[in-house]
Amino acid sequence: MAGLALITDVMTQKKTIGTFGGINENEVINENEFAEMKNMSSDLYPAIGPRLARGQVVAKLKKPNGTHYNNGLIWVDGTDFYYKGNLVGTVEDSEKQMVSMGAYVLVWPDKRIYNTSTGEWKSVEKSWTQSAQATIGPTVSASTFIKIKCSGIGTEFAQGDGVEISGCTNSGINKSAVIQSRDTDYIVVIGDVEKEFTQDSGLTIKRKAPDMDYMTELDNRVWGCSSKNHEVYACKLGDPCNWNCFEGISTDAYAATIGSDGDFTGAATHLGYVLFFKENMIHKVYGSKPSNIQINSYPARGVKKGCSRSLAIVNATLMYASCDGICGYDGGMPYLISQNMQNGYIGAAGGVCRGKYYVSLERLGGSSLYVYDAEKSLWHKEDGTVLKMPTAGGNELYFLDADGQIRPVCSDQKESKIQWMLESGDLLDGSLDKKRLHSLQFLLDLERGSYIEVYLKYDEEPLWTRLKTFTALTKQTFRISVRPRRCNHYRYKLVGVGPGKLYGFGKTYTVGSGR
């Protein structure tokens, strides 16, 4: 009929989300992801809920200098060295690099070794200085086996030790050599001396080890690197006390110069290979003995300087903080796994616990603890905890908190007073037009005493509007429904205290015009 307006049906639409992702700090995110969160976890996936409690305090340190794990937790408090909670020795008052080889724990820069099985300590470096007349000559005529006899000369050394000899009046003896045999008052080395002679003073013998920035272990050898010397090293097979045994045999120590620019930023053992990192380079060691060792260099995302403690292996994938973000490495080229997170961190430290990668990222505004669930490929954000000196072992990840307390990063217990929060991204509901929201529903499970608040924010408004609060008097599953106002886009925020979980989010709305 002429002159009458055309009336169209306005359809009411419904949508339900029952699978929740993790945090996504990008500008545009999916409806089931979150722009911000606090103390959330993937444990309840496809639902989402707060993390479990931190573990109980193991020890409180006055001056933390290092942590490690070798069939039990190790920590260094000032000069005190503890193993399984017992004081077992003293070391220098400095921050430690520690690496295990079987029962041995190598402690650098002290260059000492603790045997976790016997409780014994020994020094990697040894030195002897002449204090009586020495006799030097071939063991038999024309032999290259040279015996050096002097009071106490063999006391500090063992057969097979690689030593540096200096101060001899015969220059043919001043060199690096391997002790072929020994006793208290003599050693035998290979050299070039035609006839026996004596020397009254000045002879020195040292067993030395390199200064190393980062260390790792593979196949009964400890490997290390030095930025100062641009070198990598490996100890003698099965003998972490010897770093200068070069006899041309399979058990020799190893050393090589690395020609790439920049300082080393970390070291790790992964899938049967030793890896040395720089910020933009990975050096991969191939081979099992000095005669076939080859070091290949790959321009790639390496470990960011100052982030060596972020290296951790999760389900056979090596993860670490690079200059571009958190990387995963499966043996080929590293790839980013943190596309959903903001970069710009200046420090990172992390480790593995129960199949997840925990990493605290330090930014100019503070630190945040993120957790990557490798099986689900989801990131969640916990709180401002800083993982200082993290060390994994016994299916736990130990760290030093802000109060100098060592504790596991997680436990099997729920935290009754945990504060948590979820904030969605901007929700457009598939249309740029204005829309009338009839209701938003949240299906939640709360335990007795848990508390929740529901907030909404509309369009470009800076402030949140609190629409509902609820306290659970008993453990129950219930639906919270709120009625928003007309808007172009909106966000919701859930703020809770105590254990709970979000099972689903639903909405009923009508799309209007663009005005």
What are 46-76's pLDDT values in tens digits? 999 999 999 999 999 999 999 999 999 999 9
> Quick check: helix, strand or coil at residue 126?
strand
Q: Is the pLDDT of residue 3 over 80?
A: no
Both 373 and 391 in one domain: the answer is yes
Say if 240 falls within a structural domain: no
Place of tokens 């993937």: 42
Say if 239 falls within a structural domain: no
- Give ∠ CA 455-460-464 in degrees, rounded to 5: 20
- Tallying the residues shown for the chain, one arrives at 515
CA gap 445, 498 in Å, rounded: 11
CATH number of domain containing 189:
2.40.30.20
Q: Of 355, 388, 408, which closes a domain?
A: 408
Alpha carbon distances (Å) from 66 to 86, 87, 490: 15, 14, 48
Paired residues of 232 in beta bridges: 225, 256
Both 439 and 493 in one domain: the answer is yes
Closest to 470 measured CA to CA, from 489, 485, 452: 452
Both 63 and 47 in one domain: the answer is no
CA gap 515, 509 in Å, rounded: 17
Both 297 and 186 in one domain: the answer is no
Closest to 304 measured CA to CA, from 283, 284, 289, 326: 326
Q: Is the pLDDT of residue 9 over 70?
A: no
Q: Specify whether the backbone of 219 is left (phi greater than 0), alpha (psi in -120 to 50) or beta.
A: left
Say if 112 falls within a structural domain: no
Once rounded to an integer, what is the mean pLDDT over residues 199-221? 97
- Contact by Cβ (8 Å): 499, 416: yes
Helices assigned H by DSSP within 117-258: none
CATH number of domain containing 31:
2.60.120.200
Both 303 and 388 in one domain: the answer is yes
Say if 76 falls within a structural domain: yes
- Contact by Cβ (8 Å): 357, 312: yes
CA gap 452, 49 in Å, rounded: 12
Alpha carbon distances (Å) from 186 to 7, 105, 174: 110, 30, 16
Q: What is the pLDDT confidence band of residue 214, given thresholds at 50, 70 and 90?
A: very high
- Contact by Cβ (8 Å): 162, 178: yes
Which pLDDT belongs to residue 13? 81
- Beta strand pairing call for 64-69 and 181-183: unpaired
Q: Is the pLDDT of residue 299 over 60?
A: yes
- Contact by Cβ (8 Å): 23, 338: no
Both 375 and 285 in one domain: the answer is yes
Say if 475 falls within a structural domain: yes
The tokens describing 477, both together, are 């599953």
Q: Between 431 and 335, where is the model more confident?
A: 335
Which pLDDT belongs to residue 416? 85
Say if 84 falls within a structural domain: yes
Which pLDDT belongs to residue 266? 99
Our count of domains for the chain comes to 3
Alpha carbon distances (Å) from 59 to 55, 84, 400: 12, 11, 9
pLDDT tens, 317-352? Answer: 999 999 999 999 999 999 999 999 998 999 999 999
Place of tokens 């060596």: 308
Both 402 and 266 in one domain: the answer is yes
Q: Is the pLDDT of residue 515 over 60?
A: no
Both 33 and 65 in one domain: the answer is no
Which pLDDT belongs to residue 4? 57
Percent of the residues in the chain that have a pLDDT greater than 90, as a whole number = 87
Which pLDDT belongs to residue 267? 99
Both 425 and 380 in one domain: the answer is no
CA gap 231, 226 in Å, rounded: 5
Q: Of 384, 408, 432, which closes a domain?
A: 408
Domain around 144: 126-207
Which pLDDT belongs to residue 1? 47
Q: Between 264 and 16, where is the model more confident?
A: 264
- Contact by Cβ (8 Å): 114, 81: yes
Place of tokens 């043919």: 172
Both 178 and 263 in one domain: the answer is no
Say if 248 falls within a structural domain: no
Q: Calculate the average pLDDT of the chain.
A: 94
Which pLDDT belongs to residue 435? 60
Which pLDDT belongs to residue 8? 52
Which pLDDT belongs to residue 365? 86
Say if 6 falls within a structural domain: no
Q: What share of the chain is helix, strand, coil (3-state, %, to 5)?
A: 0, 50, 50
Paired residues of 208 in beta bridges: none
DSSP H or E stretch at residue 180: none
CA gap 274, 295 in Å, rounded: 9
Query: CB within 8 A of 134, min separation 6: which ones?
Result: 148, 149, 150, 153, 198, 199, 200, 203
CB burial of residue 485 (10 Å; 0-12, 13-18, 19+): exposed
Q: Is the pLDDT of residue 157 over 60?
A: yes
Once rounded to an integer, what is the mean pLDDT over residues 120-128? 98
Q: Of 359, 386, 408, which closes a domain?
A: 408
Q: What is the pLDDT confidence band of residue 439, given thresholds at 50, 70 and 90?
A: confident
Both 383 and 430 in one domain: the answer is no
Both 220 and 369 in one domain: the answer is yes
CA gap 377, 372 in Å, rounded: 7
